[in-house]
Chain A
């Protein structure tokens, strides 16, 4: 049992406790945000120090490999961006700022554990740690919409958890173990390849995890929750929580259920097609930008699931690594892009106090740089070069084409065309609409720093994706 392997998570937990205690004893609350953001350096440093290790601990429950370390960094960076964008927003809930920061940190810890556990029960606990923190954060504004969102998220999350546990129970019942490697061995050894009960278990797992990544038909909560939640938390949900879902799906399905990949890859392929289509088509009608981005994130989940579906159809059980690496790369690009878009929205709505797209009219004249940044992120979400979104789509589509999923790529390309409509509409309103007032929309330093980081990332990844791509490939290399 090597506690050092758990150092990033432990230090993050300690940071959360420190923030809570600080909140009790100091009056100047801005320090809390500063401490939370600065404190993230510690787990990040531990993660980087661990880079290159490949060990397991706690009887094989915890695994530290390139994959989990990559996701550790991913979650830490997105948490830092979310916290940066929260500093100004946090003034809206004056009473419980310490709790807010601590809950964000604890959710990040849960996500990190989700990516680095290799055992069903630990996965479930990590999932719940993330989930419960996020339920509370969703309802943080305490106005009717936010409370409604929090309650809905909580109840539906409980339903999804139940479904997930049922699926885990079935898999455990059939294989007699909760360790992913043991499950894989048992499936091959006991001839469970064609077992209908296992298939049922897989479907339930897909449903349980599908709730996290918001795939159709488990996406119903998304618009309501995204609209009601505090905007930084919406960003957090749409990026980090979703990424954690994908990380855990990669872990479970590639490591434990690899032998039956034919069964689940088709489920993911079909769900991907439906998810992206529904997300995009419904997004067209939205007038609220948070709701629109909610549906957009559903559609993006559809594109991401292409990466899950790219399993070789040629030989049963053969799994390609280009799908996962494309997926991981897409996640990183999507995270920067979506966070950038949300940060810009937070900056704007902090001042104009509205999320209606029509109120963004002429924003280019009131806040030229914010509008430009938002436009860049939206262009990246469409997938127009030279942005990260374009690269991400190219990689994930080419991976799918390599594995013979041409029909899915065609659906995805059609969807990309549809999506251009509603993203461009926002750009058009901002740049071509008449300003509703002449008042400038200023933004705080923290927001600008976070936004510049995201936009710079979007551009760098769009032009020179090499480095990250290498890291993404290294991250998924241990998948057989």
Chain B
């Protein structure tokens, strides 16, 4: 396989972006549908090329292709090389990104029809896909970070796509700012690692970082990298942006939640896994944050009324599972329980296998939610109900995805969740119990959605149930494809390819662990059935019974309020910024504002005020000199 293939995978979506932004939008604006075709064609070819890469990777010994790299620039004696990495991990991720992205683009043809920003939408989507592919292919941290930021930027643009809605603009800013908090730690860690090892190359860091850094330093570096992943993958405590990111178009949510944005964090931990596994403290942090996030987010998913918000919390929770899977195996490796040679690949296999399966069923769930919205015009489940009859295809595919995410045998979710649970059981029992409770909660909230949306009678006010209709074929077709993938993706030998363990189709049912989780999931479904379908239990009375918990969950543990009112408003805005603002306002700005005030008083005003002002400026110079001198003589 020529090395240009790898570059082409990444460059094709970029080309599509360039064509849409600079050719279609300015010159062919009357034929916006062209932009959709260009995007689909380019990502489709990328998918085919990714499949080629996958085949080559499977054929090659050690499941890794060596690619030439190029010197990009040199600072003094150190040179930075760029190249692509093509191992099993990258190949699997390429498939996930291109396939989900392709199906989402096809779906968007129907969903976004008639939107005035149609070409802009596809331009951003292409760029989004391109950044994510670049992130996956990068073989050094510098470029990884570059595309990492690119992904962040595109998510900002897409979440804020309907910028005329204030909530959308707000959500976009929130997503960008919150993830940047994590990015700051990531960047600091990259620079720190570079300072200590002199390389950005990830493969070299596997060896050099544990060798050259002290244990404490390594821990901090790994935690710095992890903070980036926490931001991007919406782990506690930086998870608040993801539910708000619902303000973007639904296909964008599908892409963000399944393949591009949030997957980047998990991918980063997997890519840097050998570094994480060298530090017990760091990898334990990953496991704990992951396990905690899984149950924490699931608890909030229990009570949301907005269908997309439930799905958002379920994503956070599932990402927590992936982190837990990586962390649990990593803890075993760091503790010496597992041989590093085997354990390092196993950890990646456990985490990424779930990411792989999750990508399909989560994309499907979002597309289903979009389809429902297409028919009802709302995302509020209290105004839905009875959609099963009007939208049979949406119902069927949504049901398959729900069963899959709940971990029902033999759908895909079952296989990867089992892997995570089994390893959590072995290395971190406490987190295992949390994860088991989460299994129950997941099944419950997903089927709460299913019964509220598709079961019962239609409760919407705006129009009668006769107005409901199934979505067009262009939207249904991708959903059906994704439904098939949600069933079978677990049967693919992805785990083996990544170096993890294989599983037999029926043999999995022999383990007591599998039965325990299946029973818990079944109980969850049953409870949802009892409350929302048969109404044996009244949801209202339950809510009153558990009022404190309900309030806690539905107010999202007051974390948004905490962050905004305490951190942002009190500390930053009221405190620090206000102090500087006051200084600027009173000391620097006073005169200038006076000038702008009116031309009548201007002449006299300026002259009088200027004298005072200049004295202040001059005084600052002299005080500055005195302070510098004093400091020098005191500290010298």
Q: In the complex, A touching B, CB below 8 Å? A: yes
Note all chain B residues with C-beta closer than 8 A to A236. none
Q: How far is it, in angstroms, between the C-alpha of A263 and the C-alpha of B635 when the chains are bound?
A: 11
Question: Does A217 contact B621, Cβ atoms closer than 8 Å?
Answer: yes
Q: Tell me which of B75, B187, B603, B606 has the highest count of chain A C-beta atoms within 10 A of its own C-beta.
A: B75
Note all chain A residues with C-beta closer than 8 A to B173. 428
Q: Which residue of A lies closest to B161 (CB)?
A: A432
Q: How far is it, in angstroms, between the C-alpha of A424 and the C-alpha of B614 when the chains are bound?
A: 33
Q: How far is it, in angstroms, between the C-alpha of A473 and the C-alpha of B580 when the chains are bound?
A: 38
Question: Does B184 contact A413, Cβ atoms closer than 8 Å?
Answer: yes
B588 at the interface (CB under 8 A from A): yes
Question: Does B628 contact A220, Cβ atoms closer than 8 Å?
Answer: no
Note all chain B residues with C-beta closer than 8 A to A218. 620-621, 624
Q: How far is it, in angstroms, between the C-alpha of A390 and the C-alpha of B202 when the chains are bound?
A: 21
Q: How far is it, in angstroms, between the C-alpha of A206 and the C-alpha of B160 when the chains are bound?
A: 46
What string of 1s and 0s marks CB contacts (under 8 Å) between B190-205 and chain A? 0110110000000000
Question: Does B76 contact A402, Cβ atoms closer than 8 Å?
Answer: yes
B149 at the interface (CB under 8 A from A): yes
Question: Does A434 contact B164, Cβ atoms closer than 8 Å?
Answer: yes
Pick the contact of B76 from A152, A211, A322, A431 — CB < 8 Å? A322
A38 at the interface (CB under 8 A from B): no
What string of 1s and 0s marks CB contacts (under 8 Å) between B582-612 and chain A? 0111001001100100010011001000100
Note all chain A residues with C-beta closer than 8 A to B623. 217
A115 at the interface (CB under 8 A from B): no
Question: Does B629 contact A428, Cβ atoms closer than 8 Å?
Answer: no
Q: Which residue of A lies closest to B596 (CB)?
A: A145
Question: Does B588 contact A220, Cβ atoms closer than 8 Å?
Answer: yes
Question: Does A409 contact B580, Cβ atoms closer than 8 Å?
Answer: no
Q: Tell me which of B146, B584, B624 has the highest count of chain A C-beta atoms within 10 A of its own C-beta.
A: B624
Pick the contact of B169 from A402, A432, A466 — CB < 8 Å? A432
Known: A227-B592, A395-B75, A428-B169. A163 touches B625 (CB 8 A): yes
Question: Does A384 contact B595, Cβ atoms closer than 8 Å?
Answer: no
Question: Does B581 contact A221, Cβ atoms closer than 8 Å?
Answer: no
Q: How far is it, in angstroms, between the C-alpha of A397 and the C-alpha of B192 when the chains are bound?
A: 11
Question: Does B592 contact A409, Cβ atoms closer than 8 Å?
Answer: no
Q: Which residue of A lies closest to B143 (CB)?
A: A385
Pick the contact of B191 from A159, A401, A417 — CB < 8 Å? A401
Question: Does A155 contact B614, Cβ atoms closer than 8 Å?
Answer: yes
Known: A144-B606, A152-B610, A159-B621. A196 touches B191 (CB 8 A): no
Note all chain B residues with C-beta closer than 8 A to A413. 184, 187-188, 191
Q: How far is it, in angstroms, between the C-alpha of A479 and the C-alpha of B583 when the chains are bound?
A: 40
Q: How far is it, in angstroms, between the C-alpha of A263 and the C-alpha of B633 when the chains are bound?
A: 11
Question: Does A420 contact B180, Cβ atoms closer than 8 Å?
Answer: yes
Q: How far is it, in angstroms, between the C-alpha of A322 and the C-alpha of B77 when the chains are bound?
A: 10
Known: A144-B595, A285-B577, A413-B187. A406 touches B625 (CB 8 A): no
Question: Does B577 contact A465, Cβ atoms closer than 8 Å?
Answer: no
B617 at the interface (CB under 8 A from A): yes
Q: Tell me which of B183, B617, B621 has the highest count of chain A C-beta atoms within 10 A of its own C-beta.
A: B621
Note all chain B residues with C-beta closer than 8 A to A397. 191
Question: Does B580 contact A282, Cβ atoms closer than 8 Å?
Answer: yes
Question: Does A401 contact B632, Cβ atoms closer than 8 Å?
Answer: no
Note all chain A residues with C-beta closer than 8 A to B191. 397, 401, 409, 413
Question: Does A207 contact B180, Cβ atoms closer than 8 Å?
Answer: no
Question: Does B584 contact A414, Cβ atoms closer than 8 Å?
Answer: no
Known: A220-B620, A221-B617, A278-B580. A417 touches B180 (CB 8 A): yes
Known: A220-B588, A465-B73. A196 touches B149 (CB 8 A): no
Q: How far is it, in angstroms, between the C-alpha of A119 and the C-alpha of B279 when the chains are bound?
A: 57
Q: How far is it, in angstroms, between the C-alpha of A377 and the C-alpha of B164 when the chains are bound?
A: 25
Question: Does B621 contact A160, Cβ atoms closer than 8 Å?
Answer: yes
Question: Does B164 contact A207, Cβ atoms closer than 8 Å?
Answer: no
Pick the contact of B584 from A156, A285, A384 — CB < 8 Å? A285
Question: Does A398 contact B603, Cβ atoms closer than 8 Å?
Answer: no
What string of 1s and 0s marks CB contacts (under 8 Å) between B135-160 and chain A? 00000000000100100010000001
Question: Which residues B69-117 have CB closer than 8 A to chain A?
Answer: 73, 75-76, 78
B52 at the interface (CB under 8 A from A): no
Q: How far is it, in angstroms, between the C-alpha of A469 and the C-alpha of B610 when the chains are bound?
A: 44
Known: A384-B153, A406-B195, A413-B184. A203 touches B169 (CB 8 A): no
Question: Does A156 contact B617, Cβ atoms closer than 8 Å?
Answer: yes
A47 to nearest B CB, angstroms? 27
B335 at the interface (CB under 8 A from A): no
State the main secondary structure of chain B at its contact with A. Answer: helix
A151 at the interface (CB under 8 A from B): yes
What string of 1s and 0s marks CB contacts (under 8 Å) between B158-178 and chain A? 001001100001000100110
Q: Between A and B, how many residue pairs show CB distances below 8 Å?
A: 130
A410 at the interface (CB under 8 A from B): yes
Note all chain B residues with C-beta closer than 8 A to A417. 180, 183-184
Q: How far is it, in angstroms, between the C-alpha of A111 and the C-alpha of B153 when the chains are bound?
A: 39
A223 at the interface (CB under 8 A from B): yes
Question: Does B149 contact A385, Cβ atoms closer than 8 Å?
Answer: yes
Q: How far is it, in angstroms, between the C-alpha of A271 and the C-alpha of B627 when the chains are bound?
A: 12
Q: How far is it, in angstroms, between the C-alpha of A421 and the C-alpha of B577 when the chains are bound?
A: 13
B3 at the interface (CB under 8 A from A): no
B588 to nearest A CB, angstroms? 6
A14 at the interface (CB under 8 A from B): no
Note all chain B residues with C-beta closer than 8 A to A424. 176
A405 to nearest B CB, angstroms? 10
Q: Which residue of B lies closest to A281 (CB)?
A: B580
A173 to nearest B CB, angstroms? 17
Known: A144-B603, A384-B153. A207 touches B624 (CB 8 A): yes
Question: Does B580 contact A398, Cβ atoms closer than 8 Å?
Answer: no
Q: How far is it, in angstroms, between the C-alpha of A144 and the C-alpha of B146 when the chains are bound?
A: 46
Note all chain A residues with C-beta closer than 8 A to B616. 220
Q: How far is it, in angstroms, between the C-alpha of A424 and the C-alpha of B152 when the chains are bound?
A: 13
Question: Does B621 contact A156, Cβ atoms closer than 8 Å?
Answer: yes
Question: Does B628 contact A203, Cβ atoms closer than 8 Å?
Answer: yes
Note all chain B residues with C-beta closer than 8 A to A200. 629
Question: Does B577 contact A432, Cβ atoms closer than 8 Å?
Answer: no
B563 to nearest A CB, angstroms? 16
Q: Which residue of A lies closest to B173 (CB)?
A: A428
Q: How far is it, in angstroms, between the C-alpha of A270 and the C-alpha of B624 when the chains are bound?
A: 13
Pick the contact of B618 from A144, A159, A469 — CB < 8 Å? A159
Q: How far is it, in angstroms, between the C-alpha of A221 and the C-alpha of B618 when the chains are bound?
A: 9
Q: How far is it, in angstroms, between the C-alpha of A221 and the C-alpha of B588 when the chains are bound?
A: 9
B576 at the interface (CB under 8 A from A): yes
B214 to nearest A CB, angstroms? 15
A128 at the interface (CB under 8 A from B): no
Question: Does B163 contact A206, Cβ atoms closer than 8 Å?
Answer: no
Q: How far is it, in angstroms, between the C-alpha of A155 and the C-alpha of B628 when the chains are bound?
A: 23
Question: Does B610 contact A207, Cβ atoms closer than 8 Å?
Answer: no
Question: Does A384 contact B621, Cβ atoms closer than 8 Å?
Answer: no
Q: How far is it, in angstroms, between the C-alpha of A432 and the C-alpha of B616 when the chains are bound?
A: 40
Note all chain B residues with C-beta closer than 8 A to A434. 164
A18 at the interface (CB under 8 A from B): no
Note all chain A residues with C-beta closer than 8 A to B585. 285
**Residues of chain B at the chain A interface (Cβ within 8 Å):** 73, 75-76, 78, 146, 149, 153, 160, 163-164, 169, 173, 176-177, 180, 183-184, 187-188, 191-192, 194-195, 576-577, 580-581, 583-585, 588, 591-592, 595, 599, 602-603, 606, 610, 613-614, 616-618, 620-621, 623-625, 627-629, 631-633, 636
11 contacts between A and B (CB under 8 A): A144-B595, A144-B606, A152-B614, A163-B625, A203-B629, A207-B628, A211-B621, A220-B588, A281-B577, A398-B194, A431-B163
- List the 8 closest A-B pairs by CB distance, nearest first: A217-B624, A432-B163, A220-B617, A401-B195, A385-B146, A281-B580, A207-B625, A285-B581
* Other 14 A-B pairs with CB < 8 A, given A145-B592, A220-B621, A432-B160: A144-B595, A152-B617, A163-B621, A207-B621, A220-B588, A267-B632, A270-B631, A282-B580, A322-B76, A385-B149, A395-B75, A397-B191, A399-B75, A417-B183
**Residues of chain A at the chain B interface (Cβ within 8 Å):** 144-145, 148, 151-152, 155-156, 159-160, 163, 196, 199-200, 203-204, 206-207, 211, 216-218, 220-221, 223-224, 227, 263, 267, 270-271, 278, 281-282, 284-285, 322, 384-386, 391, 394-395, 397-399, 401-402, 406, 409-410, 413-414, 417, 420-421, 424, 428, 431-432, 434, 465-466, 469
